[in-house]
Structure 1
Amino acid sequence: MDKKVVGLLGGGQLGRMFVEAANRLNIQVNILDAAKSPAKQISSHEGHFEGSFKDPEAIEKLSKTCDVVTVEIEHVDTQILEKIASQGVPVEPSWKTIRMIQDKYAQKEHLQEYSVATAQSIPLAGATKEDLQKVGEQIGLPFMLKSRTEAYDGRGNFPVKSAADFDAALEALGNRPLYAEKWANFKAELAVMVVKTKDGVLAYPTVETVHEDSICKLVYAPARNVSKKVLEQAQELAKKAVACFWGKGVFGVEMFLLDDDSLLINEIAPRPHNSGHYTIEACPISQYDAHLRSILDIPIQQHELRIREPSIMLNILGASTPDSAVQIAERSIAAGVGASIHLYGKGDARPGRKMGHMTLTAPSMREAEKSMQVLLDITDDVRGKKSAPLSPPSTSGQAKDAMVGVIMGSYSDMPVLQAGINILKKLNIPFETHITSAHRTPDWMGEYVHSALPRGIQVLIAAAGGAAHLPGMAASHTAIPVIGVPVKPTIGDGTDSVLSILNMPRGVPVATVGTNNSTNAALLAARIIGLKESAIQNAVVKYAEESTEEVMEREKLMDEQGWDAVYEKWHGAKK
């Protein structure tokens, strides 16, 4: 690989992580920013430039030392970027893209021209109460008032819920060019990191972002409780949006998931993004590797953007004490949960300032959440916040984080299922129970089974007697493994139930255990889940060891006391 030099406008935390990726490929990054900016702290050479990344003269000087110029922040002078591009120095992504995205209203108009779904937006002619009143009449209240330029991390946004908010909104944003956006009643905020290369557009998986005071606090990768169909639709929407722009590089695409599972683009960043930090630990190549490769035409394959293990990223946000970020990092290390900790070298912390982040990966999202709760408690304690559980307890009596769904056609099947439920409890596997008759409540049965996968259910145990259609019908509605438990009816030996569950047509498999044997169904479910959940796999191993010990203890007693004495003792105890 020829020695390449990349010019970078901005040396903040994104630049710091970009330099880390470049160092691994022996690519030099010449940074234009302040002397002790975070990125310069880890990059020592003579090619850096000191000054503002908005200074046209400094940008032009930087460009003369580079093979390509890129940005870690979009708030730059695009006039000079246009000039250096005309002089033969590539700017990636294109100055046209950066200029378009700098104006958030222009960005929305551009997306709408390409039939990309976004919230309805209206520019304000001025910054008066009369202008806000007109907007309210056009798109209704509430609406979001936004600055067209120089806005980030919620700064530059103001929710206008009624006319009583007009004065406060104008006081906060009145000195900026403004636009109003129709209120989006979303149930989740999603994000996709998109990579635009010379050959096409690729995408990382869809993630879920959780915000506090309009600042990203947590990122779940992949997004939780969202169907595979919606996750794929979000990727395709993000790719379609980025394809509308010019140039190469990584783009952060934020979007809203509405109550009807439709999607709206919120904003696009023409650079690596906070919602993509998880890629450093969770993916074969990070968003910073991908940005570097794309702007230098180094090949990237779609499979390199996959998530190897579920992960959660937590931003380290500053508190009132200058050393709060260091306190959080030190306590998190001492907790021993195996988090990857990134501090940005920003100096003193301030409330809400992004000082670093932590990422946890685990074989399952449930395990990642358990470990992340420890870090979240530490972070919120240092910041003086009341920590909330990542998975709040359910008030319905069902486990909110259920991994096994136990279903039956009739409550009369519950005595058969009780033994299996006891196993799930013993192995500490969260579960939920429902009556979902394939014959009497077919619509409810279909609705429940369809919803199981997005909610995190990993296995269904379905008990049925007689014609025993429930396991097969459940399997036809989901990709989750279904384990059928034949229930012995009041008349007959249950053979018809066994055969009904066993003889499923090709393409719709159902695992089948013996008649009334919910114990084996629960243990099989545990073994399936244990492939991803190490804690449950360990519990299954322990259960097997205890069973072995129980048998060997009886063998020892028989050897010492004789089979008849032990039989009498054990048989009497059973009675």
Structure 2
Amino acid sequence: MLIEAANRLNIQVNVLDAAASPAKQISAHDGHIEGSFKDAAAVKALAQASDVVTVEIEHVDTHMLEEVASEVIVEPSWKTLRTIKDKYAQKHYLKEHGVDVADSIDLEGKGVDGLKEVGATYGYPYMLKSKTEAYDGRGNFVVKSEADVEAAFEALGQRPLYAERWADFRIELAVMVVKTKDGVLTFPTVETVHEDSICKLTYAPPRNVSEKTAQRAQDLAKKAIGAFEGKGVFGVEMFLLKDDSLLINEIAPRPHNSGHYTIEACPISQYDAHLRAILDLPISQASLRLREPSIMLNILGGQTPDSHVQVANKALESPNASVHLYGKGDARPGRKMGHITVTAPTLAAAEREMQPLIDFVDSQKGKAPEPRKELGSSTKGEPLVAVIMGSDSDLPVLKAGLQILEKLDIPFTTRITSAHRTPDWLREFSKAAASTSLKVIIGAAGGAAHLPGMCASWTTLPVIGLPVKATHMDGWDSLVSMTQMPRGEPVATVGINNSTNAALLAVRILGASDLAVRERLRVWMEGNEVEVLRKDKALLEDGWEVYLQSMGK
């Protein structure tokens, strides 16, 4: 993937790896080196043939990199690689620089008794980890009770060990950080879902995480990477704890699995960014933005050698799926063979398209598919439209509009929140709305009708005002109130009691960025045209008197 990015810029990449490795398969030149990245002589040969040396994985001979650093640029710095490849040293370094990490204890040479002491100090469960050569869960052991201590030591006792206090997290997040000569930039925060300690899914943006929390995650990631020397892309994995605090879990000094979504979902990928950073080419924060929500699914080897091909072929049926197979040959259970990325105008739409692929992958492992919600009503799918009302007495007026949303398969939520009787609740709802799945808000109110205007002052989402006919003034007071918002606080106002138009306006707003919604609206509008033409034909053929009688007039 790095070479794919480099080829577009006519940058030659020399690869140190085995013959016919995936990277060499798409790069035809004579500059490649055959051998192991742990072979000092091979590393030196690569350095002599290159202007800049970078790494695909941190488990390299950093002493050799230190030696060649006097002859060639090494990015990120060999010092950074040496610190990060030792996970205990990594945590200690971060803590020294004021970055929040889980508490940890060095266990080298302490044997089984040392593991029992950790249980007495931290309680159970806790994480037993190898300091080095740990990857995708290999080298980790969850010690759930003292009864697990012997098995844990049996599994990992030959490695250099440390223990971490258990992090009671709500969700796992990740941020790809780009360190350049000019500063530290970040891709968006994503949610990662792991299975058997291997990243299975990445959600961009993360589900049920506020924009404020996502920004805190980026700030923490920038602080962490700012403490290290060198340039390039770093993957920062972290825990969002149940008390809403954040802890750094691990850092990868390279492009990372959790950043694969950037290939399709961002203006430039993490690989483009890595090249630009280590070669001092221009790069801006705007080029790292999320253009469209996305979900990445890892293709892991199943029970058959061609399991990854079966998954890829299934993904080809999906209109918005991009398939990446890595050219690794036959699959083995748990081996990363490729990935799939689905992009869509909304995360909910991406989830609906990705779910059959997740089910297919799970079926290869003998897992039953999890029940999932279908799209189409206020309880189905993540809501895109919020319909709020000042009183339940407004609900009959809203009925026609809610039926339109259901007919057009627009997921919505309905809430009661009064501008005057529950102002704090209205403020809380409005301020949080933009950090959820919501895209449009419809506010129905009668009388003074302050509800949509107050909502608009607290959110960046478009707000549609629906004036409701109250007992006095026939709704004119509500209509005038909604249309007379001060400059800078717009509310799009429809006719009195016209919830149909409020719903259709919300659908048109969604359709501006969602072609599927726009197509459903087009079909609905064509249905209206057919119905009007049918009525015209009946009126022409039957005459006005018969037609009136058929109407019961």
- DSSP 3-state at the match of 1:559: helix
Shift of 1:571: 4.3
Shift of 1:198: 1.4
Match of 1:320 among 292, 295, 303: 303
Give 1:10's aligned residue.
none
Give 1:53's aligned residue.
37
Change in Cα spacing, 1:163 to 1:467, as seen in structure 2 (3 Å) is: farther
Q: In the aligned structure 2, how far is the partner of 1:257 from the partner of 1:479?
A: 26
Deviation per CA, 1:43-93: give whole Å up to 9, x if none. 22222222111011111122111111111010011111101112x211111
Q: In the aligned structure 1, how far is the partner of 2:45 from the partner of 2:402?
A: 70
- DSSP 3-state at the match of 1:484: strand
- DSSP 3-state at the match of 1:298: coil
Change in Cα spacing, 1:106 to 1:415, as seen in structure 2 (3 Å) is: same
Q: In the aligned structure 2, how far is the partner of 1:188 from the partner of 1:454?
A: 17
Q: Does 1:423 align with 2:415?
A: no
Which one-letter code corresponds to 2:44 in the other structure?
E
Deviation per CA, 1:467-505: give whole Å up to 9, x if none. 323222322332222222222223331222223323223
Q: Does 1:505 align with 2:486?
A: yes
Give 1:344's aligned residue.
326
Change in Cα spacing, 1:241 to 1:385, as seen in structure 2 (3 Å) is: same
Q: Mind listing any 5+ residue stretches in structure 2 that lack a counterpart?
A: none
Give 1:385's aligned residue.
367
- DSSP 3-state at the match of 1:434: strand
Which one-letter code corresponds to 1:454 in the other structure?
S
Match of 2:341 among 350, 359, 364: 359
Q: In the aligned structure 2, how far is the partner of 1:509 from the partner of 1:140?
A: 55
Give 1:33's aligned residue.
17
Deviates more, 1:72-81 or 1:441-450: 441-450
- DSSP 3-state at the match of 1:321: coil
Q: In the aligned structure 1, how far is the partner of 2:284 from the partner of 2:427?
A: 38
Give 2:449's aligned residue.
468
- How many percent of aligned residue pairs carry the same amino acid? 64
Q: Mind listing any 5+ residue stretches in structure 1 that lack a counterpart?
A: 1-16
* Equivalent runs, 1:451-530 vs 2, <5 Å: 451-530=432-511
- DSSP 3-state at the match of 1:463: strand
Give 2:533's aligned residue.
552
- DSSP 3-state at the match of 1:39: helix
Q: In the aligned structure 1, how far is the partner of 2:303 from the partner of 2:283?
A: 43
Shift of 1:397: 7.5
Deviation per CA, 1:232-261: give whole Å up to 9, x if none. 222222122111111111111111122343
How many equivalent residue pairs?
Answer: 552
Shift of 1:320: 1.6
* Equivalent runs, 1:67-82 vs 2, <5 Å: 67-82=51-66
Q: Does 1:154 align with 2:157?
A: no
Q: In the aligned structure 2, how far is the partner of 1:52 from the partner of 1:392?
A: 48
Deviation per CA, 1:450-469: give whole Å up to 9, x if none. 44333301122222222323
Instruction: Report if the CA contact (8 A) 1:399-1:432 is conserved.
Output: no
Instruction: Report if the CA contact (8 A) 2:373-2:380 is conserved.
Output: no
Q: Does 1:407 align with 2:391?
A: no
Deviation per CA, 1:139-183: give whole Å up to 9, x if none. 333322221111111112222233232223222222222222222
Q: Does 1:193 align with 2:176?
A: yes
Q: In the aligned structure 1, how far is the partner of 2:522 from the partner of 2:374?
A: 28
Q: In the aligned structure 2, how far is the partner of 1:97 from the partner of 1:343?
A: 31
Deviates more, 1:535-544 or 1:352-361: 535-544
Give 2:261's aligned residue.
278
Change in Cα spacing, 1:127 to 1:341, as seen in structure 2 (3 Å) is: farther
Q: Does 1:113 align with 2:92?
A: no
Instruction: Report if the CA contact (8 A) 1:319-1:383 is conserved.
Output: yes
Instruction: Report if the CA contact (8 A) 1:127-1:170 is conserved.
Output: no
Instruction: Report if the CA contact (8 A) 1:338-1:360 is conserved.
Output: yes
Q: In the aligned structure 1, how far is the partner of 2:123 from the partner of 2:448?
A: 55
Give 2:114's aligned residue.
131
Deviation per CA, 1:306-363: give whole Å up to 9, x if none. 2222221111011121111112112322x24342211111122111110111112222
Q: In the aligned structure 2, how far is the partner of 1:232 from the partner of 1:160?
A: 33
Shift of 1:369: 1.8
Give 1:95's aligned residue.
78
Change in Cα spacing, 1:507 to 1:116, as seen in structure 2 (3 Å) is: farther
Instruction: Report if the CA contact (8 A) 1:142-1:162 is conserved.
Output: yes
- DSSP 3-state at the match of 1:476: helix
Instruction: Report if the CA contact (8 A) 2:303-2:364 is conserved.
Output: no
Change in Cα spacing, 1:330 to 1:222, as seen in structure 2 (3 Å) is: same
Give 1:143's aligned residue.
126
Deviates more, 1:517-526 or 1:26-35: 26-35
Deviates more, 1:402-411 or 1:503-512: 503-512
Give 2:239's aligned residue.
256
Which one-letter code corresponds to 1:331 in the other structure?
K
Deviates more, 1:157-166 or 1:285-294: 157-166
Q: In the aligned structure 2, how far is the partner of 1:466 from the partner of 1:306?
A: 43
- DSSP 3-state at the match of 2:63: helix
Give 2:424's aligned residue.
443
Give 1:434's aligned residue.
415
Match of 2:201 among 188, 194, 218: 218
- DSSP 3-state at the match of 1:97: helix
Shift of 1:400: 4.5
Instruction: Report if the CA contact (8 A) 1:364-1:532 is conserved.
Output: no
Q: In the aligned structure 1, how far is the partner of 2:130 from the partner of 2:456?
A: 50
- DSSP 3-state at the match of 2:480: helix
Which one-letter code corresponds to 1:53 in the other structure?
F
Deviation per CA, 1:388-428: give whole Å up to 9, x if none. 36x6579x983341111222222221111111111111111
Deviates more, 1:415-424 or 1:153-162: 153-162
Deviates more, 1:496-505 or 1:185-194: 496-505
Deviates more, 1:114-123 or 1:75-84: 114-123
Deviation per CA, 1:86-131: give whole Å up to 9, x if none. 2x21111100000010111111121122212222222224453432
Q: In the aligned structure 2, how far is the partner of 1:445 from the partner of 1:158?
A: 47
Q: In the aligned structure 2, how far is the partner of 1:373 from the partner of 1:305?
A: 27
Change in Cα spacing, 1:164 to 1:453, as seen in structure 2 (3 Å) is: farther
Deviation per CA, 1:364-407: give whole Å up to 9, x if none. 22222222123222222233332336x6579x983341111222
Which one-letter code corresponds to 1:409 in the other structure?
G
